[in-house]
Amino acid sequence: MYEKITGLIDAPFTPMHPDGSLNLSIIPDYAHMLHRNGLKGVFINGSSGEGYLLTDAERMVLAETWKKAIDDLPDFKLIVHVGSTSVMSAAQLASHASELGAWGIGTMAPPFPRIGRLEELVKYCEEISAAAPALPFYYYHIPAFNGADFSMYDFLVAAEKRIPNLAGIKFTHESLYEYNRCRRFGGGRFDMLHGQDETILASLALGGAQGCICGTTNYNALCLNDIQRAWQEGDLARARAQQEFAQDVIDVICRHRGNIVAGKHIMKYLGLDMGPNRTPFQTISPEEDILMKAELDAIDFFAHCNR
């Protein structure tokens, strides 16, 4: 029913001024940098973008700003994460994304209240997707963030007839077995977007992944794109080497509070200062900055990162 995404979609950070307000002026340069480094679109206001820490008004103006910034970029997709602890807010954000002309929408399960039954998750997604019936809808499966650790195969069984615009799942979970079951469901009907940058190669080999939504593509897209390219060319040794480099980068950011904090700070090294994180996240300190940059130097990151 919907186009399946091929290639890598970026999960961008939300740029902020030192006082914590949105820095919208940087987004056009940001969008063009991502496009220049081979990304196929953006999935905004998600976990990398600190979406749950933003007001609804901020999330809408970010969507508007991104839409304007990519209008001159051919075939560059805008997918808007619209999930909220309030299903009414989520529906309003979905409707806004549709009116704006976004390519698609998505939602993860809310962090509160914790969803305890699959039926609750399907109902939540059903109400949100209905607010933008013309747009492809993706469920964002990331149980490490919200505890919604349900079988995604069972989710597809329950949701396929209730969510007419269900396009697929952003699958950010360790089980490649379950990922592959979902990819094969209904003869491959749904678009299964892999969401773990550290296992892209495994998803290509086992799951037949064609599209991914990634966080580290903000600064390491050349490497992650080459994993897919090397696999397609049959160069397994190069694909493995690139996946190992991607894991080395992820090891560094994991030592410094993960992609949302460390990854956002790395953008400053690339000439795009994303500013601080929003509380309760705490921005990288000057002392930690020195240590993290030395660790990135040690793996020759700056010879391979985005330009």
Residue 206: its pLDDT value, please? Answer: 85
SS3 sequence, the chain? CCCCCCEEEECCCCCECCCCCECHHHHHHHHHHHHHCCCCEEEECCCCCCHHHCCHHHHHHHHHHHHHHHCCCCCCEEEEECCCCCHHHHHHHHHHHHHHCCCEEEEECCCCCCCCCHHHHHHHHHHHHCCCCCCCEEEEECHHHHCCCCCHHHHHHHHCCCCCCEEEEEECCCCHHHHHHHHHHHHCCCEEEECCHHHHHHHHHHHCCCEEEECCHHHHHHHHHHHHHHHHCCCHHHHHHHHHHHHHHHHHHHCCCHHHHHHHHHHHHCCCCCCCCCCCCCCCCHHHHHHHHHHHHHCCHHHCCCC
Contact of 156 with 187, CB cutoff 8 Å: no
What are the beta bridge partners of residue 70? none
Against a cut of 0.95, is the pTM above it? yes
- Predicted confidence (pLDDT) per residue in 90-125, tens digit: 999 999 999 999 999 999 999 999 999 999 999 999
- Domains of the chain in start order, with CATH, are 7-303 (3.20.20.70)
Active site residues: 140, 170
Residue 207: its pLDDT value, please? Answer: 78
- Predicted confidence (pLDDT) per residue in 180-211, tens digit: 999 999 999 999 999 999 999 999 998 788 99
